[in-house]
Amino acid sequence: GNAPPGVDPEAFSWFQTVDVDHSGFISVKELKQALVNSNWSSFNDDTCLLMINMFDKTRSGRIDVYGFSALLRFIQQWKSLFQQYDRDQSGSISFSELQQAFSQMGYNLSPQFSQLLLARYAQHSPSASIQLDRFIHICMQLQSLTDAFREKDTALAGNVRLGYEDFLTMVVTRML
């Protein structure tokens, strides 16, 4: 059939391929099977879940063709950004590339924090680097937590005072 109004025909065609069980929805499992990094590894489960939740308007744990079309546009935007920061065109983001990416995105993060993120999210290999899926994951989490911090930092001072439970609430409610 034809693509519904407002849905890119290419996205509609891919939706039909990805919707393996023909339910009219894409699950986390189906999305994971459809998305690969430049090294042909599947996207991480957590990243797929984050993205499904972001575009799941009904909170059913799956997305329809409209959500899928929006998700593809979202991934394409992140992929363009990723390729811009992947200066050596290796298909992954190294420590120095990650540092530059954060700086250019307006995050003033220490090398130690960037190293911590790299250690946490990089695939375990001799040259610790981050694939597209983990880059998306890190950036989504950073943005969400930064938004939560800014809600508390009304004076834009760069620091806040909050209790332990307030901190936990801030983090838990922002885990997409």
Per-residue pLDDT at 126: 63
Per-residue pLDDT at 175: 66
Q: Give yes or no for a contact between 81 and 93, defined as CB atoms under 8 angstroms apart.
A: no
Per-residue pLDDT at 41: 87
Per-residue pLDDT at 125: 62
* Residue 31 burial (CB count, 10 A): 22
CATH no. for residue 30?
Answer: 1.10.238.10
Is there a domain that residue 1 lies in?
no
Query: Range of 135's domain?
Result: 9-173
Rounded-to-integer distance, Cα 175 and Cα 141, Å: 7
Rounded-to-integer distance, Cα 149 and Cα 134, Å: 22
How many domains would you assign to the chain? 1
Given its phi and psi angles, is residue 154 left (phi above 0), alpha (psi -120 to 50 degrees) or beta? alpha
Low pLDDT (below 70) residues in the chain? 124-126, 175-176
Is there a domain that residue 3 lies in?
no
Q: For residue 162, how many C-alpha atoms fall within 13 Å in the half-sphere facing its CB?
A: 17
Is there a domain that residue 76 lies in?
yes
Q: Which of 176, 100, 88 is nearest to 127 (CA)?
A: 88
Q: What is the pTM of this model?
A: 0.83
Is there a domain that residue 74 lies in?
yes
* Mean pLDDT (the chain, rounded): 90
